[in-house]
Amino acid sequence: MKVFKAILRVLLHLIAYPAMVALILYLNWDIIDGQFVNYGIFTLVGVLIAAVMMLVFYIFYPIITRKKSKKSKLCQTVCVILIPVLSLAGLWAGCDRYLPDFISDATSGTISYEDLAENNWKTRAQVNADLINDFIAMNVQIGTLPFPIGMEEEEEVIQYYQTVGLDTEIEVLVEEECPYKTINELLAIQYQSIDGNGYTAFTDPWIGFANGGRLTIPCLIHLILDKRTVNPKKVDLESPAVQYTENDDGTITVDQVLFATYDEENGLYLADWQWTVLDMTGENTELALGDTLKGVKVLGEMTIFDLIQMVYGLNDDLIPNVLNDVSMIIADEDIAGSEIYIQYDSETGNLALVPANTARGVHGYMKMAWLDSNGLIYALVTLFSVRNVFIAFAGWIAFIMLLDAGLRGVCKDEKQRRKKYLAQLDAAVKPQAPVEPEEEEERVAIPVTPAPLSGCKVSNSLSDIQRMNRERIERQIAQDPYGNVYRGYNVRDFYR
């Protein structure tokens, strides 16, 4: 029976904490499998927290339930149950209260608590996996991640870089003496450029307006015309991509923040690129001009739209070529400083301004900032992956520990304690047959173990009358081992 109980207890324990850790490992497996190579320990945060919780429990469990413990088994069980309840459910009760504000502050409002809570962490994990995979794909396509020797298919190369690991030195990059040897180094250079030379170099409040859906014409003009300054504190001065001058007064002026690029003539190199505000949003800006183009007549009844359609009919490459050339002209340093591609929808007549992000192999600013902190975001994602499991397992483990307590003999123990305690009462109130003086002394001398009763306090500030009363009653008790004195007795008499 003892062996059976022991086996049963082991099984119960296995379906408590170990099962929880296993479940969290299972839920996080896709992230660990796909991103451990890139973000290492950050992808294990959820599993590690679960493991730490298990460790904490199994450190305290043997201490609390040790045989020498003075606590009753019932009391031990309550303590044991408190550990999962407080550490699992309690942890998330606190997190649910304070994490929303913290996450919002830490990510400048770009990621909210709702984006991660419940099962949204899975979506977020996918978004971030896509971000890095797309970044790699874009850079393979534009040549900043060259084809390794022996690979010719683009898909194959993309897959190679997506699995090689962000911090792994890439042979072909080392051989070509690139300014970056790993994907992470490339990412750092590109992010530094879009951040230091882009987002933080734009003047406030205009960049905030542009990113907050308030890109008006005056706002755009400010972002194009206002002089930009690179803040030395926003760039890594040790980076090969940053060129700076130390002034006589000790201050630093950043001259250039270079950007990794590739062309057939020069191969891989660092160049000075300017960014436009559209590159910061990384999204197309639709200009709903269709109605205007269809409404303005230029030649008799012919509208601008008709004219464009006619040109399309004559040469369908011409309009796209014109728009392409215009974007090259705009890229002049004296105009926008960077290409802004113009897309024309020949059906509706609408135009869209397309940023140069994809052509340069980078996402918009916000996504690049996420990518730069992807490790921390994965830590956050995997932390949220334990939320529901912790909350559910807090109750489950409490239940398991109750069963475990049953097997540890908590009921039997309670019964015995009660019995023992009542026996003490019996001994105290039982009538004693012919009372010999020695026996009387012996009876009085029975060692009494204080029972863990609580909740009652007797005042120590008694008046003289109360003290006299109490002493009188105590004398009566001593003279009346049958306990008859209690009949009709009111405890308030103590203090009367």
Partner 1 sequence: MNAKKAYQKQNIFRVLKILSYLAGYPLCMVLLLQAAYASGFGTKGYAVEILLGAWVLVTVVQIVMTLITKSFSARAVSVSLVSIVLLLGFSVYFDVTGPKQLQSIAESYVRDYKQLGEGDTVTLQEEDGYYVAEVLLEGEEETFTVKTDIYTYDKCLAEIKPWSGGGSIAGSIGSLEGRFCSVYNIGGSSRGSDNTDGSEVGPAREKRDGSGELEYWFGETGDVYSENGLYNDAYIPGTNQAIEILLTIYHTQAQYKEMGKDADEELEKALLEVESSREWLDYVASEEYQSVYGEGGTAYKYMLTEERMDDLLAALIPGIFEAESISDLLGIATTFSGSIQTYVDAFKQVKSVDDAIAALGTLGLSVDKQQIMDLVNSLAWYQMPSVLPKMYFIEDDDLRTYAYAKYYAEDHGATVGSVLYAEDQENGKIGKITMSDSGVSIKDNAFSEEDMYKIRANRLYGNFFQKMLARRYAYYFAAFTALAFLFAYFFGYKQWMNAVIVKKAAGIPVKR
Q: 30 is written with which tokens?
A: 């896709």
Which of 112, 123, 321, 432 contacts partner 1 by CB under 8 A?
A: 321
Residue 334 is a binding residue for partner 1 (CB under 8 A)? yes
Residue 55 is a binding residue for partner 1 (CB under 8 A)? no
With left for phi above 0 and alpha for psi between -120 and 50, is residue 286 left, alpha or beta?
beta
DSSP 180-199: -SSHHHHHHHHHHHHHHTTG
Which of 54, 220, 235, 369 contacts partner 1 by CB under 8 A?
A: 220
Listed ranges 49-57, 81-89, 225-233, 377-385: which one lies at the site for partner 1 (CB under 8 A): 225-233
Q: At closest approach, how far in Å is the CB of 438 from partner 1?
A: 19
Which of 1, 3, 10, 217 contacts partner 1 by CB under 8 A?
A: 217
Residue 344 is a binding residue for partner 1 (CB under 8 A)? no
Cα–Cα nearest to 183, from 358, 42, 37, 281: 37
Residue 353 is a binding residue for partner 1 (CB under 8 A)? yes
Cα–Cα nearest to 55, from 30, 83, 29, 92: 83
Instruction: Name residues contacting partner 1, limited to 166-205 (CB under 8 A).
Output: 203-205
C-alpha dihedral (182, 188, 190, 193), degrees to nearest 10: -150
Chain mean position to CA 249: 43
In sequence order, what are the residues at sequence separation of 6 or more whose Cβ sits closer than 8 angstroms to the Cβ of residue 41?
48
Which of 70, 225, 238, 441 contacts partner 1 by CB under 8 A?
A: 225
Which of 184, 285, 303, 388 contacts partner 1 by CB under 8 A?
A: 285
Q: Is 255 exposed, middle or buried (0-12, 13-18, 19+ CB in 10 A)?
A: exposed
Residue 326 is a binding residue for partner 1 (CB under 8 A)? yes
- Rounded to an integer, what distance in angstroms lies between the CA atom of residue 18 and that of residue 9? 13
Between strands 285-287 and 351-354, the pairing is antiparallel
First to last CA, the chain: 57
Query: In DSSP terms, which residues pair with 354 in a beta bridge?
Result: 341
Under 8 Å between Cβ of 259 and 272: yes
Q: Which is nearer to partner 1, 272 or 414 (CB)?
A: 414
Residue 101 is a binding residue for partner 1 (CB under 8 A)? no
Helical H segments across 226-355, by residue range: 277-281, 290-295, 304-314, 318-330
Residue 325 is a binding residue for partner 1 (CB under 8 A)? yes
How many residues line the site for partner 1 (CB under 8 A)? 67
Q: At closest approach, how far in Å is the CB of 238 from partner 1?
A: 28
Which of 59, 221, 237, 435 contacts partner 1 by CB under 8 A?
A: 221
Cα–Cα nearest to 16, from 409, 385, 402: 402
In sequence order, what are the residues at sequence separation of 6 or more whose Cβ sits closer than 8 angstroms to the Cβ of residue 229?
201
Q: Which is nearer to partner 1, 355 or 375 (CB)?
A: 355
Residue 6 is a binding residue for partner 1 (CB under 8 A)? no
Q: At closest approach, how far in Å is the CB of 266 from partner 1?
A: 23
Residue 1 is a binding residue for partner 1 (CB under 8 A)? no
Q: At closest approach, how far in Å is the CB of 84 from partner 1?
A: 23
Binding mask 372-401 for partner 1 (x = CB under 8 A): ------------------------------
Q: Which is nearer to partner 1, 14 or 435 (CB)?
A: 435
Q: Which is nearer to partner 1, 148 or 481 (CB)?
A: 481
Query: In DSSP terms, which residues pair with 285 in a beta bridge?
Result: 353
Residues in touch with partner 1 (CB under 8 A) = 203-206, 208-209, 213-222, 225-227, 285-288, 299, 311, 314-315, 318, 321-322, 324-326, 328-329, 332, 334-335, 353, 421-422, 424-426, 428-429, 446, 448, 450-451, 453, 455-461, 474, 477, 483, 486-487, 489, 491, 494-495
